[in-house]
Homo-oligomer: A and B are copies of this chain.
Amino acid sequence: MPGKLYNRLAIVGFGLIGSSLARIAREKGVVGEIVAVDSSEKHRERIAALGLADRVTGDIAEGVAGADLVVFAVPVLAMGEAMAAAAPALAPGATVTDVGSVKGSVAEALKASAPDHVFVIPGHPIAGTEHSGPEAGFAELFDGRWVILTPDEGREDAPYVEATAKLATFWRACRAQVEQMDLKHHDLVLAITSHLPHLIAYNIVGTASDLEGVTEGEVMKYSAGGFRDFTRIAASDPTMWRDIFVANKEAVLEVLGRFTEDLQALSRHIRWGEADKLHDLFTKTRAIRRGVIALGQESAEPNFGRDRGKH
């Protein structure tokens, strides 16, 4: 076990991700104290009531002062402003990271106002649920999930490299796996593995709710044939996701273009009754799921185990 890695962890934005990180960091004993910063009074009350942090404040500068690890866990378009508010109070030598789902524009926003005396190492834990807020967090959220760090490329000064290694150790202590990647590649990988799936899910739920000839009640009632899976993703936090699509516009439009092309080809196969081509695709896609399960990123149980209580 690594013991205490940081004396004071300040988490700015104490929602699902921020509060889960606080829970596991405390459970693992890898930080001295935890300061929660949240702009919502309701959140602050819940954080205090649940005893999730040693100190709770609504003031960013006050919250980050004296912290040697600062984690920004606010929606991606709010990162720049949060960093600007924190900057004057950041301690020399502090490590500053984030958990945003987009890295290119967020790294830029963080660096815009970061003082030279801190180490900015953007990051992204690929973990979450469709719920939000400090009560939705849980210590096991990062178990076996991947955290992608995107440190400055080509920057090889020892203190920065050491700060990056220490941040990776911290995430591993929180039971995550850690990988490094360049910003642009991260944004493309996440566009296909996370952003496009959300866009598609939001879209199909929207289409279904507006369809003439089928009522919303029917859509809900008969959703067990597949639709209900999409409603989970389409119940994710609207502000978080609005920001992601604005911040990762280029990569999202690129993969969306590919998706649409493929969908048109599939549509043509259906129109012309090209059954073999459908069967080929439907066979190929099975292998991907086996890979996802083999890599420990998914439950092997049928229906995600949601029927587990039943049998």
Contacts A190-B222, A196-B204 known; list 10 others, CB within 8 Å: A128-B224, A129-B307, A131-B302, A194-B227, A197-B226, A206-B262, A223-B292, A231-B298, A238-B283, A245-B278
User: Which interface class (under 10, 10 to 19, 20 to 34, 35 or more) fits A?
Assistant: 35 or more
Number of copies: 2
For this complex, 22 residue pairs linking A to B, each with C-beta atoms less than 8 Å apart, are A130-B303, A138-B307, A139-B311, A146-B222, A188-B213, A195-B226, A197-B204, A197-B226, A202-B281, A206-B284, A207-B255, A209-B288, A217-B291, A229-B304, A231-B289, A232-B298, A235-B290, A252-B270, A260-B263, A304-B305, A305-B305, A308-B308
Q: Which residues of B contact A238 (CB under 8 A)?
A: 279, 282-283, 286
Query: A188-241: which residues lie under 8 A (CB-CB) from chain B?
Result: 188-190, 192-211, 213-214, 216-236, 238-239, 241
Give CA–CA (A304, B235) in the complex, Å: 12
Which residue of B has the minimal Cβ distance to A196? B204
Q: Are B223 and A307 in contact (CB under 8 A)?
A: no
Q: Are A220 and B288 in contact (CB under 8 A)?
A: yes
A101 at the interface (CB under 8 A from B): yes
A127 at the interface (CB under 8 A from B): yes
Q: Which residues of B contact A230 (CB under 8 A)?
A: 197, 200, 229
Q: Which residues of B contact A140 (CB under 8 A)?
A: 307, 310-311
